[in-house]
Amino acid sequence: MDHKNKCYSTQFIDGNGAFSADKLDNFIKEVELEECGSSYAVVAIMGPQSSGKSTLLNHLFLTDFREMNASYGRYQTTRGTWIAKCPGIEPPTIVLDLEGTDGSERGEDDMAFENQSALFLLAICDIVLINMYACWWCHDIGREHASSKPLLRTVFMAMLRLFGPRKITLMFIVRDKTKIWDCIPKPEANKDTPLSDVFNIQVVVLVSYEEKEEQFRQQFFQSIAPSSRQVVVPASDFSLSAQRIWKVIKANKDLDLPAHKDWIELKDAIESQLVQGFANEDSKAAQSHLVLRYGDTLKSLFYKCLSSYDDATYHYETSVRLAERNQLEEKLVQLVQPAYQLLLKHLQSVTLKNSKTEFDHALNGGQGFAMAARNCTEKFTRLFDEQYAFIQQASWDSANIRVRFSHDLRSLVTNVRTAKLSELTTRCELKLKEALYGRVEAFLKGGRGDVWPAIREYYNCETQKVVSEFSFAFSSFEMDEHDKADMISKLMNYARGRVKLKTKEVAKEVLYIMIDRFNLIFNHDNDLNPRSWTLEEDIQAIKRTAQISSLKVLSVLAAIRLDEDTDTIYDTLVYTLLDERRKETAIPNDSLASSSWAKISNTIITPRQCKSLWDDFLSETMYTITQATATQEAKKKAKKDKRKILINVVGGFFVVVGAVGVVSTGPAAAPVAAITLAVTAKVAPVAATAKTCICIVPALTSEEFEITPWII
């Protein structure tokens, strides 16, 4: 074979990725490429292993690359990167045959060399044939790996980043209708660069390379025509340029995709690092009680973590990367869920606490309850909505959370309302108690005049004051009239209950009160001076007056008469117990045999009990009456036994009648007799003559002695 028809097939990059500059320089020298200047073309082919790449090149470009013998089955024929001259093609064309991708020899765990080789072809070639056909791979056409989509996606991104846009021709043999270019991330400067600015896309369908060989050649020649090419490296610099490009590619770690097990380890390490970092950031937020805008904080953490994951794994297989990304997102959601719930509870607690504080402050400042409740509810519901941490990535039901908070806030208002109404009621009850207890007790124990009409008048006056105060305060709650009427009714019942309770308390001491009342009236006159029980005082009349007054006390305490205007209790007691008709009445004699009073709803002391108490009363007061009677009887007797001192002069002698002691006689003894009389009868002589002796008794009262001078 002459020089012009020789291909000079040469392997200048071995299977380990070692670039042989000497072999490339020698090839360029043998094919005299330097003499071509810029008038040459570089063609390469890439595609799955055993897809017929070398066979296609040999038949289309008359090269002599080593071909696979199908009778031995599928195996790796081409290792590394080979270069050859295309005989008989103008302009001069060199062809690069690339090691097949997805080979079993390297396995799926070594993708770095495939990526590096593919990027190398895109960087130095004018046309890259992407072979997507082989008779035993027909069922894989259109699939991700069989169509070289993951590989192209990776090298497209790397090419833009490392070498910038350089328009070459990609010739897809058979088909590929996916939009790889639109899916890859691009540098900001090339974000909107269309695929047509970087590549000429041609799709050629070859039923067999023999059938449309000439058509394909014509299409190929059009692609390498000078008018279709942009920047061309001079042939003299081809080797140096190829070496530089390979060096840059080898230094790019983004193409060093790990083996499958290393990918799993790397992915786990990335996830672990991100999750730990996320946990630390979230823990700081939780520990610092960062409630405000916590949702934005979580979103920021999510975005930061997932963006870091995307940056670290963007060059991996998209479907796998996205699947792992979803798992990572689920882990982050699970990780943040406890902290989120903790912060949510804290948010609810703090918001409710603050609303309670402000609510109390508004009420203490004099604001009406209903207005304060509305203001606080609206304000803190709005604050909760603003602060509520809603995470967009997680499908958590925010409606239920807000419903729970609204329920808690309503419960707070209800509890405060209940407490304030209780305070208001307690305050009014205390005023009623203070107003009624002392005065009612005084009325009951006084027993004078119309006690129950007086109590009723005072009771109505005081309860009306308190009810008016309650109604005014109640109006700020803006509750319906039914609730108001119900609470006022309870307040009135409380007041009535206080009167009843006080009446019962006093009624327990009714016997002692009756006795005290009796003793007061019986033993003292109208001016409250003690009685001396003179002969002029009528003990029976005084006793009757005192007993009637005591019966008045008993009748007052026998029943509660806040509603009844008139009753017959007093008349019944007087008529029955004193056995004296004070006025015309039709009261039966057995009226005290009943267990209740006629037309009286609140009996405290039954008629039977009144009869028993009266018997005890009579027994207790009998001694006082007896003592008074005895005193008066003693005075009557003393009046009858008063001493009369008669001093008579009979025949010159003194006669002392009623005196005790020795009496001297004789005229001369008159002065002596007078003195003796004074000593023995404890009387002092006023004057003494021969015939007359007048004596007075200063130590004795006039009621005990009556001294009458008697001269005969």
Helix/strand/coil (H/E/C) assignment for every residue in 174-212:
CCCCCCHHHHCCCCHHHCCCCHHHCEEEEEECCCCCCCC
Residue with the larger pLDDT of the pair 562 and 75: 562
CA distance 114 to 46: 10
Average pLDDT over every residue of 62-73: 74
Confirm if 369 and 477 have CB atoms less than 8 A apart.
yes
Q: Is the pLDDT of residue 175 over 50?
A: no
CA angle at 334 for the pair 329 and 338, rounded to the nearest 5° = 140
Nearest to 144 by CA among 197, 91, 180: 180
Residue type for position 212: K
Average pLDDT over every residue of 486-512: 92
Q: What percent of the chain lies above the pLDDT cut of 70? A: 64
Between helix 260-287 and helix 294-313 the angle, nearest 10°, is 160
CA distance 43 to 56: 13
Question: Predicted confidence band at 162 (pLDDT cuts at 50, 70, 90)?
Answer: low
Bridge pairing between strands 199-204 and 559-560 = unpaired
Q: Is the pLDDT of residue 35 over 80?
A: yes
Which region among 303-317, 549-563, 634-648, 679-693 has the lowest average model confidence (pLDDT)?
679-693
Question: Predicted confidence band at 249 (pLDDT cuts at 50, 70, 90)?
Answer: confident
Q: Which pLDDT score, from 0 to 100, does residue 395 have?
A: 58
Between helix 318-364 and helix 369-387 the angle, nearest 10°, is 160
CA distance 541 to 315: 126
Q: Is the pLDDT of residue 569 over 50?
A: yes
Q: Which pLDDT score, from 0 to 100, does residue 39 have?
A: 86
Q: Which pLDDT score, from 0 to 100, does residue 316 have?
A: 65
Mean pLDDT of the chain: 75
The 3-state DSSP class for residue 522 equals helix
The 3-state DSSP class for residue 649 equals strand
Q: Is the pLDDT of residue 385 over 60?
A: yes
Residues 498-537 as b or e (16 or more Cβ within 10 Å = b): bbeebbeebbeebbebbbebbeebbbeeeeeeeeebeeee
Dump pLDDT digits (tens) for 439-492.
988 888 876 668 888 898 999 999 999 999 999 988 888 888 888 899 999 999
Q: What are the backbone angles phi and psi of residue 481, rounded to the nearest 5°?
A: -65, -30
User: Of all helices (H) and strands (E), which one includes residue 616?
Assistant: helix 607-640
Dump pLDDT digits (tens) for 699-709.
333 333 444 44
Q: Is the pLDDT of residue 224 over 90?
A: no
Per residue, the 3-state secondary structure of 435-502, as one string, reads HHHHHHHHHHHHCCCCHHHHHHHHHHHHHHHHHHHHHHHHHHHCCCHHHHHHHHHHHHHHHHHHHHHH
Q: What percent of the chain lies above the pLDDT cut of 90? A: 20
Q: What is the pTM of this model?
A: 0.48
Q: What residues does CATH 3.40.50.300 cover in the chain?
A: 8-257
Domain 8-257 has CATH 3.40.50.740: no
Average pLDDT over every residue of 634-654: 58
Average pLDDT over every residue of 279-286: 58
User: Of all helices (H) and strands (E), which one includes residue 387?
Assistant: helix 369-387
CA distance 342 to 286: 8
Give one DSSP letter per residue of 230-256, joined into a string. Answer: -----GGGHHHHHHHHHHHHHH-GGG-
Q: Which pLDDT score, from 0 to 100, does residue 183 have?
A: 61
Q: Which pLDDT score, from 0 to 100, does residue 160 have?
A: 67
Q: Is the pLDDT of residue 684 over 50?
A: no
Q: Which pLDDT score, from 0 to 100, does residue 579 have?
A: 66
Any idea which residue has 């005591």 for tokens?
A: 550
The two three-digit tokens of residue 117, written as one number: 């080789």
Q: Is the pLDDT of residue 253 over 70?
A: no
Confirm if 705 and 697 have CB atoms less than 8 A apart.
yes
Residue with the larger pLDDT of the pair 618 and 642: 618
Dump pLDDT digits (tens) for 657-679.
444 333 444 444 444 444 444 44
Q: Which pLDDT score, from 0 to 100, does residue 317 have?
A: 63
Question: Predicted confidence band at 26 (pLDDT cuts at 50, 70, 90)?
Answer: very high
Q: Is the pLDDT of residue 513 over 50?
A: yes
Q: Which pLDDT score, from 0 to 100, does residue 630 have?
A: 93
Dump pLDDT digits (tens) for 93-113.
999 988 877 665 665 545 677
Q: Which pLDDT score, from 0 to 100, does residue 420 have?
A: 86
CA angle at 168 for the pair 167 and 172, rounded to the nearest 5° = 135
Q: Is the pLDDT of residue 387 over 90?
A: no
Q: Which pLDDT score, from 0 to 100, does residue 115 have?
A: 80
Dump pLDDT digits (tens) for 125-154.
888 888 775 444 444 444 445 555 666 666
